């Protein structure tokens, strides 16, 4: 591609400048503009045909020198910058100085010494449908903050909105309010290259793309609470402008977009699908791998119309080249629900097997491993002390409520929840059975709990719907519980009423019961012989994730080993 060649000096006659500016073919069809340079080819200024017309209206003659109408403060960019870096600087300049974007229809590129390199159109730098737009992410929890950070990492301009002042205060200092692998480092990097603006209330009307990531909790009746969805929809409707794009990421019962969100947005007076665009693109990342999966997982997109789908696909193509279009808003809503309900269901099968094994005193891990061994029509997943986390704990209920509204009464979602949500009761019963066998008072024993987060791999600090937390709530004496978690902060552990343990070995001291409640890699990296030696006589070692060899633990005198479906068959007389 040829370079822009309409270069003039300060003393060029106006008539000569006009003639050069109209010779657009050799300048990639850029006409009506000239770049003013000095004898060293450094950029001095810029002049447009509009500047010339205004000068003539003010009395200049065509034989006068062009110097009279030059803009001596041109906006230049280093030609070595990437396109993303170029448009970031342009958009920030517009925001900083309240300039109109038309000022940057053409962009002057220079080298390190401000010598002219080229002049290109703004359209060569940005995709006007996405790149130059301001993206607002509503809700900065796990879903919203990871998405906002990844979009900013891709070079887009992002503002993050959350009503919690303490969350915003921490984020403005570069400190995420939860642990996610790589997130703190990414925020630190963005602070230098493309910072996200964090705020509690973005009332300005600049946002072009609204992405909703607020929570959709369920109530005590297991029915979805759409309060936050209604609130953010009403807020967006008040500031909605033509050509805006609205994308919902929050997990919703099927039909919410059409029956709840659309009527609220219609109050703006604008027409959906013509004046603005609406889509649903469900979040499907797993905590601990969100930043990676935002770029590797296929992105589901369902829209009000094809234009809505196309714009949303164009946005997410900045993150991944795997875009899966579905036929409607309802289909996109359903994808997330069936993904998570299916996962909860298969886990519940393994846990039900463990419940059956419990009556037979069979190690469920060994049984399932044998069933899967070189059998191509499995695998059955491994059991666990329950399935927690905010998504799998509520999405089967959203799935069920969707189906009921459609006239069919499903049973699998509720059944899986009944099994998986009671894992803490299973563990409590293990402890109670052990106490009965060795004649210890459950109110007097010291319990060492390893793993407070709802899962260990991928690692997370999230204790919402954690089986460990639920177990703590039903144990009779919280003051007797000591906890070690390699990700959850000691502050959050102490907030539960338990004692936080800094060194994992120290937690074994004088303990009657040790509970391994999630599968974090470090939960098994200690000297087993030393740990058991520190415990009280005839202790219970509950290995909820099969991280230790049953036979090895049972070699230690009088130790009761327990896992899913199994506990050492000793009596008090055996001790």
Structure confidence by residue, pLDDT tens digits, 354-395: 999 999 999 999 999 999 999 999 899 999 999 998 888 999
Residue 107, phi then psi, degrees to nearest 5: -125, 130
The whole-number pLDDT of residue 365 equals: 97
**Helices 142-153 + 183-193 axis angle, to 10:** 40
> Can you tell me the distance from the alpha carbon of 135 to that of 150, in angstroms, rounded to the nearest whole number?
12
**CA gyration radius, the chain:** 31
- Nearest partner of 511 among 561, 447, 436, judged by Cα: 447
> Can you tell me the distance from the alpha carbon of 234 to that of 214, in angstroms, rounded to the nearest whole number?
13
Q: Is 380 exposed, middle or buried (0-12, 13-18, 19+ CB in 10 A)?
A: middle
Confidence class for position 2, pLDDT limits 50, 70, 90? low
Whether the CB-CB separation of 563 and 364 falls below 8 Å is answered with yes
Structure confidence by residue, pLDDT tens digits, 183-225: 999 999 999 999 999 999 877 658 999 999 999 988 888 788 9
**Does 562 score more than 60 pLDDT?**
yes
Identify any residues that bridge with 300 across adjacent strands, giving them in sequence order. Answer: 324
Across residues 235-261, what is the average pLDDT? Answer: 95
> Can you tell me the distance from the alpha carbon of 563 to that of 554, in angstroms, rounded to the nearest whole number?
12
Confidence class for position 234, pLDDT limits 50, 70, 90? very high
Structure confidence by residue, pLDDT tens digits, 34-60: 999 999 999 999 999 889 999 999 888
Q: In terms of pLDDT, which residue wins out, 26 or 52?
A: 52
The Cα angle at residue 330 between residues 328 and 332, in degrees rounded to 5: 75
Q: Could you tell me the pTM of the whole model?
A: 0.77
Identify any residues that bridge with 121 across adjacent strands, giving them in sequence order. Answer: 106
Structure confidence by residue, pLDDT tens digits, 391-443: 889 999 988 887 655 678 889 999 999 999 999 999 999 999 999 999 999 99
**Does 103 score more than 60 pLDDT?**
no
Confidence class for position 565, pLDDT limits 50, 70, 90? very high
Instruction: Tell me the DSSP string of 526-548.
Output: S-HHHHHHHSPSS-EEEETT--S
The whole-number pLDDT of residue 557 equals: 86
Identify any residues that bridge with 279 across adjacent strands, giving them in sequence order. Answer: 247, 303
Q: Which domains does the chain have, with CATH numbers?
A: 7-124 (3.10.580.10), 134-327 (3.40.50.720), 337-420 (1.10.1040.10), 423-574 (3.40.50.720)
Whether the CB-CB separation of 217 and 392 falls below 8 Å is answered with no
**Does 270 score more than 90 pLDDT?**
yes
The whole-number pLDDT of residue 86 equals: 80
Structure confidence by residue, pLDDT tens digits, 472-515: 999 999 999 999 999 999 999 999 999 999 999 999 999 999 99
Instruction: Tell me the DSSP string of 68-132.
Output: GG-BS---EEETTS-HHHHHHHHHHHHHHHT--GGGGSEEEEE-TT-BEEEEEEGGGT--TTTTT
Query: Per this entry, what is the length of the chain?
Result: 575
Across residues 148-177, what is the average pLDDT? Answer: 96
> Can you tell me the distance from the alpha carbon of 176 to that of 179, in angstroms, rounded to the nearest whole number?
7
**Does 32 score more than 50 pLDDT?**
yes
Of 62-66, 75-79, 346-350, which has the strongest mean pLDDT? Answer: 346-350
The DSSP letter of residue 6 is: -
The whole-number pLDDT of residue 141 equals: 96
Spatial neighbors of 409 by CB under 8 A, at least 6 apart, are 403
Report the share of the chain in percent with pLDDT over 70: 93
Across residues 310-327, what is the average pLDDT? Answer: 94
Structure confidence by residue, pLDDT tens digits, 541-559: 999 999 999 999 999 989 9
**Does 101 score more than 60 pLDDT?**
no
Spatial neighbors of 553 by CB under 8 A, at least 6 apart, are 528, 532, 541, 543, 559, 561
CA atoms within 13 A on the CB side of 415: 10
**Does 131 score more than 90 pLDDT?**
no
> Can you tell me the distance from the alpha carbon of 345 to that of 326, in angstroms, rounded to the nearest whole number?
24
> Can you tell me the distance from the alpha carbon of 66 to that of 466, in angstroms, rounded to the nearest whole number?
73
Task: Count the neighbouring beta carbons within 10 Å of the beta carbon of residue 190.
Answer: 17
Task: Classify 551 in phi/psi space as left (phi over 0), alpha (psi -120 to 50) or beta.
Answer: alpha
**Helices 14-21 + 49-57 axis angle, to 10:** 150
Mean pLDDT score of the chain, rounded to an integer? 91
Across residues 292-308, what is the average pLDDT? Answer: 95
**Does 100 score more than 50 pLDDT?**
no
**Does 266 score more than 90 pLDDT?**
yes
């Amino acid at each position: 591609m040829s370079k822009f060649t309409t270069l003039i000096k300060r003393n060029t006659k106006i008539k000569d400048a006009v003639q050069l500016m109209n010779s657009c073919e050799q300048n990639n069809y850029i006409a009506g503009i000239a770049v003013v340079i000095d004898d060293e080819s450094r950029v001095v200024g810029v002049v447009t045909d509009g500047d010339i017309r205004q000068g003539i209206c003010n009395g200049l003659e065509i034989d006068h020198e062009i110097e009279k109408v030059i803009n001596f403060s041109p906006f230049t960019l280093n030609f070595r910058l990437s396109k993303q870096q170029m448009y970031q600087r342009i958009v920030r300049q517009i925001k900083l100085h309240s300039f109109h974007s038309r000022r940057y229809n053409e962009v002057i590129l220079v080298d390190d010494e401000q010598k002219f390199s080229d002049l290109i159109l703004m359209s060569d730098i940005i995709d006007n449908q996405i790149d130059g737009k301001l993206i607002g992410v509503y809700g900065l929890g796990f879903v919203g903050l990871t998405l906002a950070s990844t979009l900013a990492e891709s070079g887009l301009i992002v503002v993050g909105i959350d009503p919690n002042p303490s969350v915003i205060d921490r984020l403005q200092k570069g400190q995420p309010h939860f642990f996610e692998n790589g997130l703190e480092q990414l925020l630190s990097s963005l602070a230098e290259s493309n910072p996200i603006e964090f705020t509690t209330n973005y009332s300005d009307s600049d946002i072009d793309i609204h992405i909703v990531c607020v929570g959709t909790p369920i109530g005590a009746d297991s029915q979805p609470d759409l309060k936050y969805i209604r609130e953010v929809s009403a807020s967006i409707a008040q500031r909605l402008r033509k050509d805006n794009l609205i994308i919902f990421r929050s997990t919703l019962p099927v039909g919410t977009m059409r029956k709840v969100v659309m009527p609220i947005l219609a109050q703006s007076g604008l027409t959906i699908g013509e004046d603005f665009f609406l889509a649903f693109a469900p979040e499907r990342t797993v905590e601990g791998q969100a930043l990676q999966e935002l770029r590797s997982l296929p992105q589901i997109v369902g829209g009000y119309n094809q234009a809505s789908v196309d714009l949303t696909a164009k946005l997410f193509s900045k993150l991944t080249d795997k875009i899966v279009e579905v036929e409607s808003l309802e289909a996109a809503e359903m994808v997330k629900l069936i993904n998570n309900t299916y996962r909860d269901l298969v886990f519940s099968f393994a846990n039900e097997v463990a419940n059956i094994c419990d009556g037979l005193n069979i190690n469920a891990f060994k049984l399932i491993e044998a069933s899967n061994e070189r059998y191509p029509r499995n695998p059955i997943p491994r059991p666990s002390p329950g399935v927690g986390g905010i998504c799998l704990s509520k999405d089967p209920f959203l799935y069920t409520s969707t189906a009921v509204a459609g006239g069919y009464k499903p049973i699998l979602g509720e059944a899986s929840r009944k099994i998986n949500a009671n894992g803490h009761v299973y563990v409590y019963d293990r402890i109670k059975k052990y106490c009965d066998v060795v004649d210890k008072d459950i109110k007097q024993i010291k319990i060492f709990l390893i793993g407070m987060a709802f899962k260990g791999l991928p690692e997370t600090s999230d204790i919402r719907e954690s089986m460990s937390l639920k177990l703590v709530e039903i144990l009779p004496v919280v003051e007797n519980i000591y906890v070690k978690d390699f990700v959850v902060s000691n502050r959050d552990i102490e907030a539960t009423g338990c004692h936080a343990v800094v060194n994992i070995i120290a937690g074994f001291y004088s303990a009657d019961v040790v509970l391994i409640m999630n599968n974090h890699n470090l939960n098994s990296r200690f000297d087993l012989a030393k740990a058991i030696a520190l415990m009280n006589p005839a202790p219970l070692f509950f290995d909820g994730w099969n991280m230790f060899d049953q036979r090895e633990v049972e070699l230690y005198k009088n130790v009761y080993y327990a896992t899913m479906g199994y506990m050492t068959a000793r009596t008090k007389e055996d001790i």
